[in-house]
Amino acid sequence: MSMNVGLTVNGERKEVAVRPMAPLSELLREGLELTGTKRGCETGKCGACTVLVDGKATKSCQRLAGQAEGCEVVTIEGLADHAGDDGDLHPVQQGFIEKFGMQCGYCTPGMAMTAVSLLEENPNPTREEIQDGVKGNLCRCTGYTKIYDSVRYAAERLEETTVESARGDD
C-alpha cells in the first residue's frame, strides 16, 4: 500500500508514491534518487539526513514523508540553485572545500544544510554560535574545528555578496 505525496524538491514540483509511514529521507533517497541525503542513525541524533524544509533545517529521518505534503524541500543536490548562484557552489559548499571541513564526507551534506539554515537565521555568527548551531550534527572525522572554519568562511562570503549587491556591484 502506498500514498502519493506532492512537494517541491530543489525547485521542481514532484509527486511521489511512498509507504504511509515512510520517512522523508526514504522519499528523497529511494523515491527521487537524491542520495546526497545520507542515512545515519535513523533516530535524529546524527544529522546526516538534514535537509531544508520550508527554509528550516530538518532531520529527514524524523519527519514522515506525508508531513512534507505541499512543502518546499532543498537537498544538498539543489543547494547551489537555492543560493541563486547560476550553478556556482553555495558559499557553504565552497567553505567546506576551501577550509577542509570534510574528511570522509558522510556528514557533510547534513552539516552543510544545517549551516545554511544557521546562516539564514544569523548571517554573522560568532564561533560559539556556529558551534551551538551545528551541535545536532555528528562528525567522526574532523574534530569540528575545520567545520567551524568552513561556516565562518561561508558567512564572510555571504556578507561580501550582500555588500556588493547593496552597492550594485555584480
The domain limits of the chain are 3-79, 80-167
Residue ranges of alpha helices (H) inside the chain are 24-26, 79-82, 91-98, 108-121, 127-133, 145-167
From the list 109, 102, 103, the residue with the least C-alpha distance to 39 is 109
Write the burial class of residue 68 (CB in 10 Å: 0-12 exposed, 13-18 middle, 19+ buried). Answer: buried
The strand pairing partners of 57, in sequence order, are 52
Burial class (CB in 10 A: 0-12, 13-18, 19+), 33: exposed
Asked if 130 and 152 count as a contact pair (C-beta separation under 8 A), the reply is yes
pLDDT at 82: 74
Domain 80-167 is of which CATH architecture? Orthogonal Bundle (1.10)
Predicted pLDDT of residue 84: 62
Residue with cell 537537498: 75
Report CA-CA distances (Å) from 116 to 4, 26, 31, 70: 29, 22, 24, 22
**Digits of tens for pLDDT over the chain (170 positions)?**
899 999 999 999 999 999 999 999 999 999 999 999 999 999 999 999 999 999 999 999 999 999 999 999 999 999 998 766 566 899 999 999 999 999 999 999 999 999 999 999 999 999 999 999 999 999 999 889 999 999 999 999 999 988 877 887 65
CATH architecture of 3-79: Roll (3.10)
What pLDDT is attached to residue 12? 97
What pLDDT does residue 85 have? 55
Eight-class DSSP state of 29: I
What is the model's pLDDT at position 79? 95
Phi and psi torsions of 96, nearest 5°: -65, -30
**Residue at grid coordinates 552543510:** 112
Distances (CA, A) of 49 to 78, 120, 130, 132: 14, 19, 19, 18
- pLDDT given at position 169: 66
Report d(CA 63, CA 164) in Å as an integer: 38
